[in-house]
Structure 1
């Protein structure tokens, strides 16, 4: 019998036409329009057509969407790809078998459990199955072997796959299907008796089964949480307490387990049964290891008896019914306190310039500038640097990377066309990284969301990043080019917050760093919209790139790359660049060219140049006028009065000055009869 696959479904259903006929009663003829079943459609604007490949497709002319039959069912029924195929197989009675095959316990598969004194009857009671093969949610088929058995725990309508002997630990636990949102994260509750003497909360589903197999005869039952970080809501906690005289924690005795059980004991007011030290001395860490190592059960029972003889730790009323959010905050507090009590060793930056860290791990970073200012070229150069091998001879403008760090690049574009412009950028990154253009590297992933409607682009970014994250353990650098195109409205505070909340979560929890490209407002170094404002607030590094002006305020060929903000580090000196036709990219400008192009503005003490210099000069909030003028005269070839006029212009025009701590400021004059005039840099509050 054929299994459920895309190919078998399309083969049986005339390339999808029969699927459309089943789910769309209005469809009776190719090319005839009907109301789209995917949305409220008062004017019929959808139709079925046959593609050049023979595949039947549905097109919604109002939204421009084109879908094959399986994708159509996914959206219609709000289910995943494999779920859609299963539903089609069921509804159209195609007779295909599922792509997973479960078998009863026999032979070598049961031998794994027998070492823990677990019988097939117990496994069947807890709905644990042995599998010959399964397909991951990404469609990859995995087969069991004698040395690598596959088991599953049934969780609601999904399966948690358990491969205890997998060489790579990241494959040890996987999900097939979607875990129900209603699942309470505690395994084994339905198998508990109405009431018993003691229930142990173990760390891991296998530990739950092993504990029950070996201790039920002693009046002791067990449930299992997924891992040490899994929380237990107050409703589930109350249910467990109602089913026993003693509810006791019994987590792993490795460092994380001991730390987690101590927290949970205080949080839930539960006694904490720490497994006897003979287990650790024998090389074990959990209750399953205890029985596998054939340690004395009576020793275990005696130690548990001593714990039960003690009183439960006090629990205040405020701790009862703590919400999952509060529990997460309390766990974060303890984690931060732990790190703050130790010497903090910073990980090396992904990219640095001399002694200055430019891009650190787990941060949000911005490159901004006007249209046509080579923002994308700078970002592409950073990508090439991170992808390059040690023997690559490309010029990276003095930027360096940490060679020992393996990074996967995800480049998501929103503007360029797919036929020429974006492919040219991808080739440029590869060439600069000294990678053969025909080489497909798993550490360089890229896509475009240009064709995705704006309201769904952030979800599209999430889906692509999640897909790549599932395939690699590398640190990830995600490029959003352009970030304002990833939100429905870049002037909307809520949309901007949604974007940066998502980016911040990935930075903290998914081993990711972000590099965003933003357009600037005309006549300003501020990035566009609320997204730009929020980005400046959240970013660790903000880089501005733009053309240097001449004395007539016209663009020159000289390009200035300026570090507006570098959190926790002294701001680096700017880089002066030019575009090279030979290098087909940016190169460092000749010093003489820099001197020539900036000389005229220095002679007239251009207000923007003076404002920039002020930000570097002020070490404190205030400075005497005389001292400031003397320092400025070393940079600008003009009189005291000219400089005083420029300072007056900067104050009156409220020209933004970035201080040495990367904070936006304005300058304010303080003068009074008989007292020396001084200037103050006033830090501006970033508008929300």
Structure 2
């Protein structure tokens, strides 16, 4: 299958646009973009004479620019620049539009290639011979919880042979059956062949616009109707006792008039699409556009575990009865949520569901400084010992049992019992200075060999705009390798943004740090400079960080002794007054900073 084949059989892509873009629009005339809440008609489908191809252009939203493949890729969450994604896009178009383009013959089928048809419904592309469903075929459907009564109600039959106009011949067997979906009772309705074990599983005949599988079997009124991702899912949901129908594909648009009619007949319209990338993206777009609720199945989204039919098959194989599965499905329907509600769900605090209490990691004088998931701000002027203080904390994380012999400069560090990852990202100092800091971390911990779970990275050579992504990638790798992250230090958080005085950037980077700490259930320590005055953290970044941090520790130089003076300015989990004030200074013999008694 080639790009040129699709363009040749779809009038340069115009038929593809007409298939996926709803409404009575005209080529070359601007209209409202139906894929979002557009208020100004600036969306256009136009013809490019040089390439003999149709393109789209939305002057109000540059995302909607390109040919018909770009449109389908956007709807399916694919990237046309990716070879595998582009193949998927072409296969989606061919399937949705009944474009039976030449493919390789399959074992067990005496069919070279079906006749090629365009998006105009072809009424004579093939003829077929039907037969009543055999016990073997009924057993195949039963594995998905689909009953003979439902198959009969939805006019599903079995096919013995298919004769194509080009002379090809398909013979179904017990091992490779073919079934027929009939969309309505009339003779000229849409017909769809379903060969579950073939590469080309679906073939249309008499594809009639506006006919949707299962729609004519919906009751006049009811509590709920389920929009599924395909015909088999309609049959499964119906067998569970709930009315259902499907569009011609998950990437198809839902007609506004049809939806309004459903809302008048049913209290609730629920979307139940596949759990793969395309299904999740399509259900998200559909539910967001029309304020609908959706069910997200507890499935990984793999080829054999992605839809409600797969779920029912798996549960029945475990010995769970269809009635029990139906009860679970009803619970899911009652818990169905809009995309906005899905975002809010993790934010809800319920007294009956207390969260797991995070482990305390850092404390000063028995006052909690930070637990797992907390953000700590260490601030101070240049050369006051901020990096060395953070390094002392990292030294404490290198032990799996409590070590009183380690001088962590007045802050107590809980043992890293599970040897989770410990990371230091340096954005300020040279590579050699970072190496010296690593040496002092190991020296203070009494460790001669760097543990593999301790990672020190100097990001000075990395452009600022790329540092966030690199840090996230490093954290992902660390959590996979070491089954968790204990503590992360970012020495120079301000160096991840262009300016510490940019309020929007400051808010964004602090929220980013909070998300990372919560996501990995780690303590994240951020080191920032003061603004030239003691206890005044630099810029909008400092203001935002001091508000959001669980603890703020200020380190300044004591004018009398020249040592570093540690003041706890804020403790969300304890008392700054009880934490007290401490000092540390350089010990030439030990070649590191030590606590001052």
Task: Flag the structure with more relative contact order, 1 or 2, with Cα contacts below 8 A and sequence separation at least 6.
Answer: 2
- TM-score (normalizing by structure 1): 0.44
